[in-house]
Amino acid sequence: MITIFACNYTQVVLADETELLLKLEGNLKIYKPYNCDNLVNDVRIDSRRYLEIDGYSIEQIEKRAVIDENDSSIKCKGTAVLSNTSTLDIQYGAFIDNEDEWMIEYSLQR
């Protein structure tokens, strides 16, 4: 009788643990190093590499918003403030490439 009780108790505990793990797994999110706010500095730094070619760089992104987001990418939009004081719409984001590295991308909408 005690052995059956211990066996049933173990099964109940395991069932409770499994249920708890399934609930927790549903709430887990994969860590992503980027969001629409902290991507701005990387976009700024990268765009300054092309200052001589383009004649401007991206200095700030205002009105930031998420377009799409999943475990391996994020896409954002906003208004880019350029070094020549003009503004343009911008789409920017980050994604995991084939080598599992996070890459940033951006394009001004003319």
Q: What is the structure's pLDDT at 57?
A: 97
CA 10 to chain centre: 41
Query: Residue 56's CB: how many other CB atoms inside 10 A?
Result: 18
Q: How would you class 48 by CB atoms within 10 Å of its CB: exposed for 0-12, middle for 13-18, buried for 19 or more?
A: middle
- Paired with 90 in beta bridges are 78, 108
The span from the CA of 39 to the CA of 29, in Å, is 19
Tokens of 42: 């990387």
Q: What is the structure's pLDDT at 1?
A: 41
pLDDT 10s digit of each residue in the chain, 110 long? 444 444 444 444 455 677 766 676 666 666 788 999 999 999 999 999 999 999 999 999 999 999 999 989 999 999 999 999 999 999 999 999 999 999 999 999 98
Check: pTM over 0.85? Answer yes or no: no
Q: What is the structure's pLDDT at 39?
A: 97
The span from the CA of 54 to the CA of 50, in Å, is 6
The span from the CA of 28 to the CA of 26, in Å, is 6
Q: What is the structure's pLDDT at 21?
A: 65
Angle at 52 between CA 49 and CA 56, to 5 degrees: 80
